[in-house]
Amino acid sequence: MTGQPDREAMDREEIVQLQLERLEATLNRAQRSVPFYQRRFAEAGFDAEGLRSLDDLRRLPFTTKRDLRDNHPYGMFAVPLRDVVRVHASSGTTGLATAVGYTRNDLKTWSDLVARILVAGGVGKDDVVQVAFDYGLFTGAFGFHQGAERLGASVIPVSSASARRQLGIMKDYRSTALVCTPSHAMTLADAAIEAGLKPGTLSLRHGLFGAEPWSESMRADLQAKLKLVATDNYGLSEVGGPGLAGECLDRRGLHVAEDHFLVEVVDPETLAPVPDGTVGELIVTTLTREAMPVVRFRTHDLASLTRVPCACGRTMARMSRVKGRTDDLILVKGARVFPSEIEAVLLEVEGTEPHYEIVLERRHGGDEALVRVEAATPGDENLRGAVERRLASELGVAVAVELVAPRTLPRSEGKARRVIDRRRPDAP
């Protein structure tokens, strides 16, 4: 059933007990070896020795991206550099990159966790895994590369390349699993259709897509176009990269590797915990990382949690798809809108393509949004009106729509840049 069944199907009590033991060890190590945490814990009047239950974690302050940056590059490491065998960095989507270190044990754990995600997504030893993430400081490519090797699958480390080259390799090497961002997968799907590749020319069966928020409608579209089963996975470089959570084939939430991470959901404004099922900001504490333990990291990713048992037999809690980032949240005339909600609508309207951008401008003292989307018939006023009406009813607020000709918006070779924010004075 699973990559590590003895772990992934533990009883709830066992999970909580293991988390408590590992949390205690992590906090002790952070307090002892990382001056930043020593200071923070002291300021909060917290002593790691006094940890009694998982709830005690709430007495601790959060760690922010800013904290990691202030201690860049090695200030957050809990081991000397001679014990660090690899350094990666966060992808820097929201500014400067921050370094992330791994001991030999950390690399082994990381491989195991990504192997779990591959297994959960249906990938096995016989699969040929094409990794189309950019190799480099970013954790995505190396994470999946090692995980797939650990599993015994055959890895094709293509890295980023033109759609033509990705498709050529996919065809020649009979790749059965594709690992990349959903937006890049869409670029490949459209390029395959455009090149007239007949269904069946490719051998793809599994798509493991992550590293950016995407929608159910985008999944349906990708599955239909690429003839594969697409699963979502989640991780972030600051706490080690991919491997934190991934969907099983049931595809109703991403199983969190709770034996290695403690995940909380809080209200992004009050920072108070919210109940299961409520969307809030995801907070992650690492439980086994040696080189760089991170306590209550504010991910700024919005999702909810459920501990309801899953049909697949795994007992690990599931997180919802990431609904967006707290800093992606667009306020249009007072309404809270996520780019992923706009995407879901666009994919449902016949006649538009899944390539779009959202331009934000400050006008007449308020924020206004313009959705630019590709359509085969960009001059079609009826279509434009239909998209506007549909968006207004789904989002609860009016946004302007502009139809543009196919292939006029930039294509993603990594993470898609969907929102063009012209509201700030320093914006281009």
- Phi-psi category of 327—alpha, beta or left, where left has phi over 0 and alpha has psi -120 to 50? alpha
Nearer to Zn ion, 30 or 319 (CB): 319
- Least gap, CB of 250 to Zn ion (angstroms): 5
CB of 319 to Zn ion, least distance (A): 12
Torsions phi, psi for 107 (to 5 deg): -65, -40
Q: Is 355 helix (H, G, I), strand (E, B) or coil?
A: strand
What's the closest the beta carbon of residue 287 comes to Zn ion, in angstroms?
Answer: 21
Task: Tell me the closest approach of the beta carbon of residue 8 to Zn ion, in angstroms.
Answer: 9
Give whole-number Cα distances, 107 to 210, 243, 427, in Å.
Answer: 20, 11, 39
CB nearer Zn ion, residue 131 or residue 310:
310
Q: Considering only CA atoms, which of 308, 286, 306, 282 is closest in space to residue 295?
A: 286
CB 251, min distance to Zn ion, A: 8
- Count CA within 13 A, CB hemisphere, residue 316: 31
Distance between CA atoms of residues 356 and 215, nearest Å: 14
If the CB atoms of residues 14 and 194 are measured against Zn ion, the closer one turns out to be 14
Number of H helices, E strands in the chain: 11, 21
Decide whether 250 or 402 has the Cβ nearer to Zn ion: 250
Q: Write down the residue that tokens 């969307």 correspond to.
A: 279
Minimum distance between the CB of residue 208 and Zn ion, rounded to whole angstroms?
15
The smaller minimum CB distance to Zn ion, of residues 232 and 343, is found at 232
Which residues here bind Zn ion, judged by CB under 5 A?
248, 250, 310, 312, 314
- Are the C-beta atoms of residues 278 and 265 closer than 8 Å to each other? yes
Query: Which pair of tokens denotes residue 301?
Result: 């990713």
Nearer to Zn ion, 258 or 343 (CB): 258
Go through the chain and tell me how many residues it has.
428
- Comparing CB distances to Zn ion, the nearer of 9 and 386 is 9
Smallest gap from residue 261 Cβ to Zn ion (A): 17
Count of alpha carbons within 13 Å of 191, Cβ hemisphere only? 19
